[in-house]
Amino acid sequence: MLKQKVRSTVVVLLILALRGFGQTASVSSGQAPWEKHKKVKAKSGEEKPRIVDPGEGHPVLWKEPADIQSLNLFYGQGGRGGAPNLSDKFTFVERDRTGSSLKIYVKDSEDREWKVKFGREARPETVASRIVWAMGYHTDDDYFVKRVHIDGWRDDAVNVRFKRRHNGFKHVGYWTWEHNPFNGTRELDGLKVLMALLNNWDLKYDNNVVLRPNKKSTDDPVERIYYVSDLGASFGKTGSLAYKLHLPMDPPAGTKDRPEQYAHQSFIHGVDNGAVHFHYKGKDRSALKGIPVENGRWMGVMLGRLSEKQLADAFRAGGYDGSEVALLVRAVQERIAELKNLK
């Protein structure tokens, strides 16, 4: 038994070493939390990222959703009209070398630019964006595409996520779970509950983006929209041996797009001093601590307004087959019931 555990650990270390080869190493603990991200982003020629001052503009995290029961979760925030036209011509522009997933930029014949993501995050991110949007939070316009030809790219793109780029907003910086204008609010707690519901284990700060609309009324203060831009590390399980080893890179803290693992992992341990105790073992676990029961239940009631068909549409939009849809919808509904029944 001991030899088997040693062999398993060695295999994990070798895989992670190969995965991390060529990536930027972690910075020393003495640096500011965004210093590491500056080095990574510099390769793509983008502006240096910064943590947005909470006093800048008019901060917005959540807006009361319209009639939740009438929302179309197959097309999500971007709607049917915002979806990529797969009969159109797409042309490769450049590769985005940030992050661990393969991503490229492409343009269609209307000069709309898309970021195409390959790998295991394509399906869960598409679904997660729809659920988060339905609850009143901003998301990206994500669409799952089973196969499409891209001129200038090596092969057909298969099982990828298309995301509109520069879609009416300008990226102005980042925010952290600890420092933001919404600490202590029901709305921020609701967003945290959604991250737990999705099993999104990648809660690092550089997935938290601040945008401003490109156009605004001269009479209105400039909005600063706070949202979670990367939801791909969802619908698997949280917790992994690699992350517990504290390796000098950025190992995963769970799995992605594993319906069986998601369905069989516990969601809520119970209540401790009036706060919800989630069975969550992802990155930045402290972000999900101290959420009052009433705020968890509020989000559960909101989620409970989604019909079984709407949830099924969200998973179908992510390319899941019939048996996977049934399994995942049932698992999500069970989690919603746990939130609604919190006492």
For 199-241, what is each residue's pLDDT tens digit?
Answer: 999 998 889 999 999 876 555 678 999 999 999 999 999 987 6
The 3-class secondary structure across 220-231, one letter per residue, is CCCEEEEEECCC
CA distance 91 to 152: 6
pLDDT value at 121 more than 50? yes
Q: Tell me how many domains the chain contains.
A: 1
Mean pLDDT of 14-34: 37
CA distance 36 to 24: 8
Binning pLDDT at 50, 70 and 90, where does residue 46 land? very low
For 299-312, what is each residue's pLDDT tens digit?
Answer: 999 999 999 999 99
pLDDT of residue 32: 42
Does 14 or 183 have the greater pLDDT score?
183
- Cβ-based neighbours of 232, under 8 Å, separated by 6 or more: 101, 117, 120, 121, 122, 124, 125, 128, 161, 202, 256
Q: Is 305 in contact with 69 (CB distance < 8 Å)? A: yes
- The answer as to whether 300 is a domain residue is yes
pLDDT of residue 250: 65
CA distances, 173 to each of 103, 176, 222, 226, 314 (Å):
21, 11, 14, 10, 29
| Percent of the chain's residues with pLDDT above 90 | 70
- The answer as to whether 12 is a domain residue is no
CB count, 10 Å around CB of 120? Answer: 18
Binning pLDDT at 50, 70 and 90, where does residue 244 land? low
Mean pLDDT of 238-266: 80
Q: Is 225 in contact with 212 (CB distance < 8 Å)? A: yes
- The answer as to whether 209 is a domain residue is yes
Binning pLDDT at 50, 70 and 90, where does residue 167 land? confident
Query: Chain-centre distance of CA 130, in angstroms?
Result: 11
Does 249 or 75 have the greater pLDDT score?
75
- The answer as to whether 238 is a domain residue is yes
CA distance 267 to 257: 17
pLDDT of residue 252: 79
pLDDT of residue 124: 98
Residue 69: half-sphere exposure toward Cβ, Cα within 13 Å: 3
For 143-157, what is each residue's pLDDT tens digit?
Answer: 999 999 999 999 999
- Amino acid at site 117: K
- The answer as to whether 11 is a domain residue is no
pLDDT value at 49 more than 80? no
Check residue 68 and report its DSSP letter: G
| The token pair that represents 197 in the structure block | 């519901």
- The answer as to whether 124 is a domain residue is yes
Q: Please name which of 165, 167, 327 lies closest in space to residue 257, comparing C-alpha atoms.
A: 327
Query: Chain-centre distance of CA 175, in angstroms?
Result: 15
pLDDT of residue 55: 77
Does 329 or 248 have the greater pLDDT score?
329
- The answer as to whether 326 is a domain residue is yes
Q: Which residue has the tokens 């998301």?
A: 139
Helix axes 186-198, 293-303, angle to 10 degrees: 60
Binning pLDDT at 50, 70 and 90, where does residue 142 land? very high
Binning pLDDT at 50, 70 and 90, where does residue 50 land? confident
pLDDT value at 330 more than 60? yes
pLDDT of residue 63: 96
pLDDT of residue 247: 57
Lowest mean pLDDT among 17-26, 235-244, 246-255, 323-332: 17-26
**Domain of 149, in residue numbers:** 32-340
- The answer as to whether 217 is a domain residue is yes
- Amino acid at site 298: W
The pLDDT mean for the chain works out to 85
Mean pLDDT of 126-139: 98
| The token pair that represents 145 in the structure block | 């595409």
Element counts in the chain: helices (H) and strands (E): 9, 12
For 59-68, what is each residue's pLDDT tens digit?
Answer: 999 999 989 9
| The token pair that represents 26 in the structure block | 């972690």
